[in-house]
């Protein structure tokens, strides 16, 4: 699942993920992503932007981590928020990894491999 | 003493964003330029907190269309205003977020705003600016600070 309010970024991340063999669903903010999860989507991994309207990425991570049934979803922040304190907040909330924009496709693949959701 | 990113810092960050998502070629973005006059598009993100101000990215209309076309993998002639707004907003967000990491924190980063034309930031002044040229078109990145904080 790719969650980003920029349709260009969803396109770019979606293309990278499809190239790595994933099926991709998209959401333009945390609230729509939660709605998709509530309607039965169960992604292996969610790539989550931080700054989004309606529900931001940190609120999404908090909401997902409150639900036992979504515990297995791997959460990776992909964001321009690069202050150390913000990274710590996201990881403390339950994000597994953190990628700062701009990124390369290799950086995304390396992080996914590190998380064990991508086998090289 | 508070460190304010230099014009060179703005250029390095912009070059990294452009190389990652638009050209793949660091030489595609050239230093120098005349600034964007006439038909121009401005993307802006605001910071509030330990540093209060804005990061603004301004380019010509043709450069904005080319940037959107590159991000969306489209022909420039097929790009609509929706794609231009999305692309310039995301580019401003990426440049702004990385500039923010060099400023005193913590600060909150706003969602990007995009306008066709020039954007005024009441009570703020430019503290750093870099003029660049991309595909023969002007691109200006500037860092603004609220006057009260700058004084």
Chain A residues whose CB is inside 8 A of the B98 CB are 80, 82, 100
Domain CATH code at residue B39: 3.40.1550.10
Query: What pLDDT does B151 receive?
Result: 47
Pairwise CA distance, residues A48 & B32, whole Å:
36
Q: What is this structure's pTM?
A: 0.94
The residue range of the domain holding A70 is 2-115
DSSP type of residue B26: G
Query: What pLDDT does A120 receive?
Result: 58
Residue A120 lies in a domain: no
Residue B40 lies in a domain: yes
SS3 A45: strand
Q: State the total domains in chain A.
A: 1
Q: What is the pLDDT of residues A12-69, one digit of tens each?
A: 999 999 999 999 999 999 999 999 999 999 999 999 999 999 999 999 999 999 999 9
Residue B27 lies in a domain: no
Chain A residues whose CB is inside 8 A of the B16 CB are 102
Question: Does residue A86 sit at the B interface (CB-CB below 8 Å)?
Answer: yes
For residue A22, give both structure tokens. 């994933």
Residue A45 lies in a domain: yes
- Nearest-neighbour CA in chain A from B65: distance (Å): 13
Residue A49 lies in a domain: yes
Domain CATH code at residue A28: 3.40.50.2300
Mutate one of B69, B97, B102 to test the A interface: name it (highest A CB count within 10 A). Answer: B97
CA angle B117, B140, B121 (to 5 degrees): 55
Between chains, do B72 and A11 touch, taking CB under 8 Å as contact?
Answer: yes
Residue B50 lies in a domain: yes
Q: What is the pLDDT of residues B64-80, one digit of tens each?
A: 999 999 999 999 999 99
Q: State the total domains in chain B.
A: 1
> ipTM of this model?
0.92
Which are the contacts of A9, defined by CB distance < 8 A and separation ≥ 6? A49, A101, B90
Q: What is the pLDDT of residues A77-91, one digit of tens each?
A: 999 988 888 899 999
Residue B91 lies in a domain: yes
Residue A107 lies in a domain: yes
Question: From start to end of chain B, where are the E strands?
Answer: 29-31, 40-49, 53-60, 107-109, 113-116, 124-134, 137-146
Residue B142 lies in a domain: yes
Which of A9, A53, A104 faces B90 most closely, judged by CB atoms? A9
Residue B47 lies in a domain: yes
Q: Count Cβ–Cβ pairs < 8 Å, chain A vs chain B.
A: 63
Residue B100 lies in a domain: yes
Pairwise CA distance, residues A6 & A27, whole Å:
10
Residue B37 lies in a domain: yes
Does the pLDDT of residue B63 top 50, yes or no? yes
Question: Does residue A107 sit at the B interface (CB-CB below 8 Å)?
Answer: no
Q: What is the pLDDT of residues B108-130, one digit of tens each?
A: 999 999 999 988 888 999 999 99
The residue range of the domain holding B124 is 7-15+32-150
Question: Does residue A51 sit at the B interface (CB-CB below 8 Å)?
Answer: yes
Which are the contacts of A75, defined by CB distance < 8 A and separation ≥ 6? A45, A46, A48, A61, A64, A65, A94, A95, A96, A97
Residue A53 lies in a domain: yes
Does the pLDDT of residue B35 top 90, yes or no? no
Chain B residues whose CB is inside 8 A of the A8 CB are 68, 71-72, 83, 86-87, 90
Q: What is the pLDDT of residues B12-27, one digit of tens each?
A: 999 999 999 997 777 7
Chain A residues whose CB is inside 8 A of the B71 CB are 8, 11-12
For residue A17, give both structure tokens. 């993920």
What is the percentage of chain B residues whose pLDDT exceeds 70? 95
């Amino acid at each position: 699942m790719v969650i980003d309010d920029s349709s260009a970024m969803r396109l770019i991340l979606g293309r990278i993920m499809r190239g790595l063999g994933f099926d991709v669903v998209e959401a333009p903010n945390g609230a729509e992503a939660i709605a998709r999860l509530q309607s039965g989507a169960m992604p292996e991994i969610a790539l989550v932007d931080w700054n989004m309207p309606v529900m931001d990425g940190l609120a999404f991570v908090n909401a997902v981590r409150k639900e036992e049934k979504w515990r297995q979803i791997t959460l990776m922040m992909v964001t321009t928020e690069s202050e150390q304190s913000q990274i710590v907040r996201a990881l403390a909330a339950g994000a597994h990894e953190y990628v700062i924009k701009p990124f390369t496709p290799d950086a995304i693949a390396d992080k996914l491999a590190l998380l064990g959701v991508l086998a090289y | 003493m508070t460190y304010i990113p230099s014009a060179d810092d703005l250029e390095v960050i912009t070059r990294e964003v452009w190389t990652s998502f638009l050209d793949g070629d660091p030489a595609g973005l050239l230093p120098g330029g005349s600034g964007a006059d006439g038909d121009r598009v401005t993307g802006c993100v605001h910071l509030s907190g330990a540093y209060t101000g804005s990061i603004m990215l301004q380019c010509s209309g043709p450069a904005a269309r080319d940037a959107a076309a590159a991000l969306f993998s489209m022909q420039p002639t097929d790009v609509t205003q929706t794609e231009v707004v999305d692309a310039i907003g995301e580019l401003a967000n990426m440049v702004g977020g990385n500039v923010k990491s060099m400023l005193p924190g913590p600060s909150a980063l706003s969602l990007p705003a995009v306008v066709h034309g020039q954007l005024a930031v009441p009570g703020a002044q430019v503290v750093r600016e870099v003029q660049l040229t991309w595909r023969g078109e002007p691109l200006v990145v500037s860092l603004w600070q609220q006057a009260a904080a700058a004084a």
